[in-house]
Amino acid sequence: MDMLLNPLNRWRRLRDDIPVMPGAFPLVGHLPAMVCDLPRLLRRAERTLGSHFWLDFGPAGHLMTCLDPDALALLRHKEVSSALIEEMAPDILGGTLVTLDGSAHRQARDGIKAAFLPRGLTEAGIGELFEPIIRAQVKAWRDRGEVAILPDTRNLMLKLTFSLMGIPAQDLSEWHRKYRQLLQLMVAPPINLPGMPLRRGRAARDWIDAQSRQFIRDARARAARTGLINDMVSAFDCSDGALSDDVLVANIRLLLLAGHETSASTIAWMVIELAQHPELWDALVEEAQRVGAVPTGHEDLAQCPVAEALFRETLRMHPASSLVPRRAMQELQLGQRRIPAGTHLCIPLLHFSTSPLLHEAPDQFRLGRWLQRTEPIRPVDMLQFGAGPHVCMGYHLVWLELVQFSIALALTMQEAGVRPRLMSGVEKGRRYYPTAHPSMTVRIGFS
Ligand code: HEM
């Protein structure tokens, strides 16, 4: 960690009476430590400064980070705005519904949300659409015998996301490259020169948006085609000009991005955990053999409690969205502190997801905490998806695809008499921000 903090920035300062975490670098602030070892940064800040402190997000400025569980209530607070997200990532998320508040947000969300609820997913036959794609991917892994897991789950998620949206899966490797460049904008230094991440990221955003405009034109030309883009275009065209094509393009960009990185990382972690816990693999195989086929409808998911527990525990231990930004619109009480109006806030989902205040033995990967519970899932049990008006729209979709994936993996590998095995270390190279994911080099063998 010491290497990731600036040794020349040691003095303690206060802003609005709240301590600023020392160790920020010029231009990039605490971003190096946030990207490479966020848990340790948060632990150190808590130990030395208490539950409220400022982190320096480089170009995005300082965000007041709160480790008191009261911070979770900010996600539902009427006087807390999401507009800060647009200021922090204008090139990636500008104009998307995740940055809007109040009725503007509701209007944009209403146009899409039904398609992501269990009924919408079932009516559109998403489970049936995904099943052969997932099956083909795990069969390819079985045949190859060993894979670099994250690049492969990203590839799988891109295929699934494209099929969901109704986009033909062409140029997947080019899309991957553009995604990586786009995401770099979240941590890019503000230097707009050729070859720099900022310049490359903006070019990637323009490329992705140009593709989306073409998809929209195609959807309008062939209105009978199915897929989410078609539904979105129809909903937007019915809004009598209230919603422009720019909004549509921005929200397609959001959906392509939101559904890709986060789910790919979660699936990769799921396989890594299965490779590290042979007893969990055995329990999953037993369940897969009992159900006998990959489930396709939401109503079938209840038959797969082990796979569901695996989905929930993987996300609890490895939440893909680690930090959520907000702005206080008026003075707020947060834990023991008064927070002035206008304060930029950071809600560390990663911290709460693995907090002993919310979970017994939080560092242990235990399916039992889900399998043995008798009460229904509460919002705090799925905080990895946020909460309140902006709660993730992809929750039911991710649940479906992760259960489908784990059952398909267990059936395919069991038939071949093999199981997943970890072929490399997992700690080196893992990342926590802007999205959390395992190292690109983690390898899994099937033998
Ligand atoms: C493991 C996978 C995923 C995780 C951990 C995750 C996490 C999150 C979180 C934390 C938020 C709230 C952001 C905020 O409050 O500022 C969010 C919002 C959102 N997510 Fe997800 N997400 C996942 C997958 C997906 C998928 C598959 C889709 C769709 C294809 C999706 C679509 C969205 C959208 C559209 C929003 C914005 C909702 C709004 O602002 O009203 N997500 N997600």
Q: In the chain, what is the greatest distance between 2 CA atoms, to the nearest angstrom?
A: 64
> Measuring CA to CA, which residue among 347, 315, 353 is closest to residue 334?
347
Instruction: Give 258 Cα–ligand 1 centroid separation in angstroms.
Output: 6
162 or 31: which leads in pLDDT: 31
What is the interface pTM, i.e. ipTM, of the complex?
0.99
Tens of pLDDT, residue by residue over 58-70, are 989 999 999 999 9
Report the mean per-residue pLDDT for the chain.
92
Give residue 18's pLDDT band: very low, low, confident or very high (50, 70, 90).
very high
Residues with CB under 6 A from ligand 1: 82, 97-98, 109, 254-255, 258-259, 262-263, 266, 320-321, 324, 384-386, 390, 392-394, 397-398
Contact predicate 371/306, CB 8 Å: yes
Give the burial class of 338: count Cβ atoms within 10 A of its Cβ; 0-12 exposed, 13-18 middle, 19 or more buried: exposed
Give residue 153's pLDDT band: very low, low, confident or very high (50, 70, 90).
very high
Residue carrying the six token digits 């955990």: 273
Contact predicate 321/262, CB 8 Å: yes
Instruction: Give 292 Cα–ligand 1 centroid separation in angstroms.
Output: 31
214 or 383: which leads in pLDDT: 383
Say what the alpha-carbon torsion angle 38, 43, 48, 49 is, to the nearest 10 degrees.
Answer: 70
Tens of pLDDT, residue by residue over 210-262, are 988 988 888 888 765 567 887 778 777 776 666 678 888 998 889 888 888 89
Instruction: Return the residue whose CA atom lies nearest to atom 12 of ligand 1.
Output: 386
* Residue percentage of the chain with pLDDT more than 70: 97
Give the burial class of 223: count Cβ atoms within 10 A of its Cβ; 0-12 exposed, 13-18 middle, 19 or more buried: exposed
Tens of pLDDT, residue by residue over 122-144, are 988 999 999 999 999 999 999 99
Provide the token pair at 222: 């062939």
Give the Å distances, CA to CA, from 63 to 81, 249, 323, 324, 337.
14, 29, 11, 10, 15
Over residues 263-288, the mean pLDDT reads 98
Instruction: Give 393 Cα–ligand 1 centroid separation in angstroms.
Output: 6
